[in-house]
Chain A
Amino acid sequence: MKKSELVLEVENVNKSFHDPMTIQVLKNVSMQVARGEFVSITGKSGCGKSTLLYILSTMDTDYEGELKIDGEPTRKASATRLARIRNEKIGFVFQFHYLLTEFSVLHNVMLPGLKLAMKSREEVEHRAMELLGELGIADQARKSANQISGGQKQRVAIARAMINDPLIIMGDEPTGNLDSRNSDIVFDIFRKIADEHKRSLLIVTHDQDFAERTDRIIEMDDGRVVT
């Protein structure tokens, strides 16, 4: 595999919590995600899979080891630079949708795009509408974010993650709050993102059915990568 094809590289990452006593939660974790790869991380509760994801997301900077996103080392990057990387190269989908209830659905999707400011407002709006259409919720665009159903909210969150065409989309139990029908919809969307848009996906899940349908499963146990 060519190096430039790697979206995400992690080498020997260690992390410990010190409160109330020191517990090492990640032990020499190394992994890579290639462009267009649909990867899931599974493992028991407390095995460190979410902790790893938040380190990969650049939001958690309290760790040892090296993390490269799109070939760029992030260990010593400034907080502003990390915010820029998240804005430009990473999309997030969480278990909870985290939509801003004060804003409309459309505006929620647009916010990261407006922040990136690479395109005009009109272009961002156009792209947001396109994404909402692709996800089948274009008719909800003008509604307030708390007027739509749970499944729809999660799709809005996915559209928000996609607005800046990120290299990788990270998810922390994105189907955790959804019924099986909505879970399937979300999975199909992810599948399409990986196959058609050639974006990488890294999804933490404890849903075995979901994990088995992805390209690769990284299984973790007690802070180590097992497979």
Chain B
Amino acid sequence: MRLLATIALTLLRAKLRQSIVAAVGVMFSIAMFVTLLGFMSGLNELLDGLILNRTPHVRLYNELRASPEQPVQVAYADSTSPADRPIHHFIYSIKPKDDLPRLRNATAIMAALEKDPRVLAVSPRLVSQVLFNVGTTDLSGQVNGIDVMQEVRYYMFQDYLVAGDPYDLANGNNTIVLGKALADIMEAKIGDLVQVTTASGDRTMLRVVGYFQSGITDYDKVQCYANIKTVQKLLARPASYYTDINIKLHNLDEAPTMAKELAARFGVQATDIQTANAQFETGTDVRNIISYAVGVVLLIVAGFGIYNILNMMIYEKLDAIAILKATGFSGRDVQRIFLLLSVIIGIAGALGGLIVGITLQNIIDNIPFITAALPSVKTFPVDYSIRFYVIAVTFALATTWVAGWFPARKASHVDPVEIIRGK
């Protein structure tokens, strides 16, 4: 095998320029493949992260609903009309309760979830509608009482804070982070006091400690964040009063089954991330398919380059093939020599392509990309996942192997008698 490799390398050196052209073809396609997929995947992660980072995998809540059983139905549960037809009720006297949709037994539910091995993190929320009193008008808003440190750790809360420090919110008393758009309307600076009125009419002054920007303006006009204790105090509710429990799982794919299971187990509503954000996965898939398709096409084109050059080389080297066969190299040896040639070109191209590709990724990673929608993003996103490098190199080697195989087989079938007698 070493002898065959020496012969392959010597032939390669003799046709150095053509070999380099072939290797550059592979290099170019690998570089484009790596760059394209890294960039595409980076964008995908960014766009998905915009929603998915901030979305719990399973959310437990208690929705305000019309009472499913009206008294009249209970009273006449077993009766039928004289004509044996079911009775149609049209009396709906019981309205939804005048209460916030609190989660009953929230403390016990959370304790149970903490013990579940599938669960990564559990964080409670208390969401309430409020009015901000600005001058003579009132602006409606929604205050999310959060466990700040949990949100920072598991939901990238700090990435969406354009001003202020999450610790001020966590430790402060009566502090609030306003949506950036809302703060602009209210002209509230950091350190200012804003007056908040709850649904039940209580008024409280809260100190602004930061701005929040999700990138979705309608959302930023309404949403505000406060320490969960502050909101409990605001609403005059006890410390175990929560409206939502957000769950992050170790494995995202378990969310739909978990949601069903938890809904049945605790008697609450549960939504999973897949149901809530189906469109994001579709978009990601389509973008991935497009980038892979482009990358694969580039590699195939490079494969044709190698095929051509090897074919030419074999044609020019018919004499050498003939004498090698005459002096005892078998057809298989000859095939191996040319296959090795092709794979050497492939490896050289793939390594060069990786270097160029990673360089291009770095360049893209440093191009400024500033958008109001994504406060934490300053440059174009790039995914440096090792997966793409492995796929690119594997595919490059496979392509060059196939591209080399056909000419190599042709070389192995060269009849030395025909060549030698032809002279």
Binding site for B on A (CB under 8 A): 50, 54, 57, 59-60, 79-80, 83-84, 86-88, 92, 94-96, 98-103, 111-112, 114-117, 160, 164, 172
Q: Are A98 and B328 in contact (CB under 8 A)?
A: no
Q: Are B14 and A102 in contact (CB under 8 A)?
A: yes
Contact with A along B367-389 (1 / 0, CB 8 A): 00000000000000000000000
B317 to chain A, nearest CB (A): 9
5 contacts between A and B (CB under 8 A): A79-B331, A98-B323, A100-B10, A100-B323, A103-B10
Which residue of chain B has the shortest Cβ distance to A98 in the bound complex?
B323
Interface hub of B319, B322, B327, B421 (most chain A Cβ within 10 A) = B327
Contact of A92 among B3, B319, B327, B421 (CB under 8 A): B327
Contact of A116 among B11, B328, B331, B416 (CB under 8 A): B328
Contact residues in A for B322 (Cβ distance below 8 Å): 98
Which residue of chain A has the shortest Cβ distance to B419 in the bound complex?
A98
Report the separation of the CA atoms of residues A172 and B416 in the bound assembly, to the nearest whole angstrom: 13
Contact residues in A for B14 (Cβ distance below 8 Å): 101-102
Which residue of chain A has the shortest Cβ distance to B2 in the bound complex?
A114
6 interchain residue pairs of minimum CB distance: A87-B328, A83-B330, A98-B323, A102-B14, A112-B327, A86-B328
Interface hub of A103, A116, A117 (most chain B Cβ within 10 A) = A103
Contact residues in B for A54 (Cβ distance below 8 Å): 417, 420-421
Q: Are B10 and A102 in contact (CB under 8 A)?
A: yes
A106 to chain B, nearest CB (A): 13
Report the separation of the CA atoms of residues A54 and B322 in the bound assembly, to the nearest whole angstrom: 13
Contact of B3 among A84, A88, A114, A160 (CB under 8 A): A114
Q: Are B327 and A160 in contact (CB under 8 A)?
A: yes
Q: Is the C-beta of B325 less than 8 angstroms from some C-beta in chain A? A: yes
Q: In terms of DSSP, what is the predominant structure of the interface of chain B?
A: helix
B318 to chain A, nearest CB (A): 11
Contact residues in A for B415 (Cβ distance below 8 Å): 59
Contact with A along B395-419 (1 / 0, CB 8 A): 0000000000000000000011100
Interface hub of B7, B416, B417 (most chain A Cβ within 10 A) = B417
B74 to chain A, nearest CB (A): 91
Report the separation of the CA atoms of residues A115 and B332 in the bound assembly, to the nearest whole angstrom: 13
Q: Is the C-beta of B276 less than 8 angstroms from some C-beta in chain A? A: no
Contact with A along B44-57 (1 / 0, CB 8 A): 00000000000000
B403 to chain A, nearest CB (A): 22
Report the separation of the CA atoms of residues A88 and B13 in the bound assembly, to the nearest whole angstrom: 29
Given contacts A79-B331, A102-B10, contact A59 B323 (CB under 8 A): no
Q: Is the C-beta of B326 less than 8 angstroms from some C-beta in chain A? A: yes
B57 to chain A, nearest CB (A): 61
